[in-house]
């Protein structure tokens, strides 16, 4: 094993454990913090893949904004009793299991099908410029589609939240 593989192993173990603790933790705020660790280890994996731009964007967006918003929501809604266990019904558990298993199977099948045993060699660090070129030239349609989806979600949230 070379250094990169050792580092990946460490990150994978930390991220996996944190992911497990997100769903088993009995304290909502602790769960959100374990989510931070899991997302940060994904950022670490991006760094190992020589994609520093993606890695730091991951930190800014997911670690620095999304989980903070989750914490904000927790504190605003059930602040004094923030340590209570979330509603954990059988239905929710079954649904979570189905979704989780589905995503897992999908990723294993897709990644296995796409790459198999192929060994991908190290490439140099991705230039931010090249990333921008490919995002806004080759993948501009998916990019715009995702933007519209996010906008729709935003408007949906406002509609749900406004009562007047």
Partner 1 sequence: MTGTVWDIFILLVKVVGVFAALMVTVLLTIWLERRIVAFMQTRVGPNRVGPFGVLQTLADGIKLFFKEDVRPSNADKLLYGVAPVIMMIPAFLAFSVIPFGFAFGSERAQLADLNVGLLFVLAMGSLQVYGIVLAGWASGSNYPLLGAVRSSAQMISYEIAQGLSLVGVFMTAGTLSAAGIVAAQQGDPLLGFIPRWYVIFQFPLFLVFLLSGIAETNRAPFDLPEAESELVGGYHTEYSGVKFALFFLAEYLNIVTVSAVATTAFLGGPDGPAPDFLPWLWPILWFAAKVFFFIFIFIWLRATLPRLRFDRLMDFGWKVLIPVALAWVAVTAVVLVVDVNLPRPVLLGAIGVLLALLLLSFLLPSSDKEKADRTAPGGSTP
The binder of partner 1 chosen from 36, 38, 39, 42 (CB under 8 A)? 36
The binder of partner 1 chosen from 9, 101, 125, 140 (CB under 8 A)? 125
Q: Is 136 in the site for partner 1 (CB under 8 A)?
A: no
Q: Assign 126 to helix, strand or coil.
A: coil
Q: Is 151 in the site for partner 1 (CB under 8 A)?
A: no
15 or 55: CB nearest partner 1: 55
The binder of partner 1 chosen from 5, 72, 101, 152 (CB under 8 A)? 72
Query: What is the signed CA dihedral for 97, 30, 60, 100, rounded to 10 degrees?
Result: 0
**Closest distance to partner 1 from the beta carbon of 59 (Å):** 4
- Residue 95 CA to residue 37 CA, distance in Å, equals 24
73 or 102: CB nearest partner 1: 73
The binder of partner 1 chosen from 9, 13, 75, 135 (CB under 8 A)? 75
Collect all residues with Cβ–Cβ distance below 8 Å to 62 and sequence separation of at least 6. Answer: 39, 42, 43
15 or 35: CB nearest partner 1: 35
- Residue 74 CA to residue 1 CA, distance in Å, equals 42
Q: Is 19 in the site for partner 1 (CB under 8 A)?
A: no
- Residue 22 CA to residue 27 CA, distance in Å, equals 9
Looking at the chain, how many residues does it have?
Answer: 164
């Amino acid at each position: 094993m070379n250094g990169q593989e050792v580092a990946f192993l460490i990150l994978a173990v930390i991220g996996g454990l944190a992911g497990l603790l997100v769903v088993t933790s009995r304290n909502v705020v602790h769960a959100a913090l374990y989510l931070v660790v899991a997302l940060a280890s994904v950022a670490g994996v991006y760094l190992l893949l020589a994609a520093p731009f993606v890695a730091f964007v991951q930190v800014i967006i997911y670690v620095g904004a999304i989980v903070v918003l989750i914490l904000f929501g927790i504190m605003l809604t059930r602040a004094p009793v923030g340590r209570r266990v979330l509603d954990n019904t059988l239905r929710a558990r079954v649904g979570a299991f189905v979704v989780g298993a589905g995503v897992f199977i999908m990723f294993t099948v897709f990644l296995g099908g796409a790459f198999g045993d192929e060994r991908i060699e190290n490439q140099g660090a991705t230039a931010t410029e090249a990333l921008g070129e490919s995002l806004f030239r080759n993948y501009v349609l998916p990019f715009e589609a995702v933007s519209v989806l996010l906008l729709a979600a935003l408007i949906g949230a406002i509609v749900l939240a406004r009562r007047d």
